[in-house]
Structure 1
């Protein structure tokens, strides 16, 4: 092996491929043995990669997301997320480890509308020891409040920290939800149709924010979308599911709008 000298140290000139953040091999999931939801899913996502997951309703997207965060155990195959095995007899500790390092954003925000933005952001820390203190910004420790404010600053809403969520626009509410995910310092972020409830301009803003923040922080991002422009413009790769199987897994820049639409039209 060739070595390149740097001072007194020798550094390998051969790049070592990073261990995938997510690796699934022959993954299957069935609630009824006669009707499998996922079949023979093989997938590897690199740390820091941004992946769009597309496919028609009923293709298995939501089930795959639930498996990836340890909510549903696979019926077959292997699954590792952030170095933790989630297949077979995966332990409760392994699932909790994955969830503690994962941020989640949903289509309908899941915010407490009568609480202020900062309190909602701090709800991302409820999983921590003493997490009851994150129920409100008034009971949270000062370092937690500082983290919450930094997350709101990252999404451009620091000036609305003490405004009730129900006084914010839909796009601003989704930014609060993003800040709630970011306050966890996640390694992996899952977004399930994050722009579906927003108008086109707000949807583009939210997706651009996701893509930028994840790239800046090295967060692995997996998001679902029925908007083919969002799937192509804000990801590095697109994975299409159909009938519980991977239809294609291709770099985003290699796919045309027509090719993407085929994943829905068949």
Structure 2
């Protein structure tokens, strides 16, 4: 029996877990950070909550006799990824970064790339008075001092501090282009702020912004750590086949 730990509550993490639980001779544990109140659970064994930093994760890998670790966390979950790198090295466990490709601007897009959330806040004055802030619950305090109107969309209600003029919309994607365009029109949005999360689940807002001629402030991803990486679940499965002991799980 080979044992695999999958970090992350992303769609790729769930899809990988679904592939692995069907493979004879493979036991998969999916670990979720616990930041979403009602997460979409992957098949197989699931644990929720942190490990206690890199040291705690390394000890867990040893205790559970994990044969391979796949980091399929959100592209902006840098602290978890850093801990995974350190823990895998200490425990001597092969590690793969599974990360979907980032978005790329196309003809007609008016994107303003910035390196961080504070830089996104600094870029807003002059772009418009009404902002659609679609960056999740983390980092909203960077926008609190701006005298602008914000529509904030998150899966769970955000915690203060928030901008003084804020309307909160709790919703979970995926969303269609028509739904996003209607949202932008109804709220008279002038500018969209988003992280470069990649993937199709939340990309419709970018198409809607292009169709409406709106500028988009895009927070760029932090740099990836060195080491093996994959962009698709199929690539991750192939990597696992290359590092795990050959047996009934292969194929």
The TM-score bracket by the shorter chain reads under 0.3
TM-score of the two chains, using structure 1 as the length reference:
0.23
> Which of the pair is proportionally richer in helix?
1
**Normalized against structure 2, the TM-score is what?**
0.24
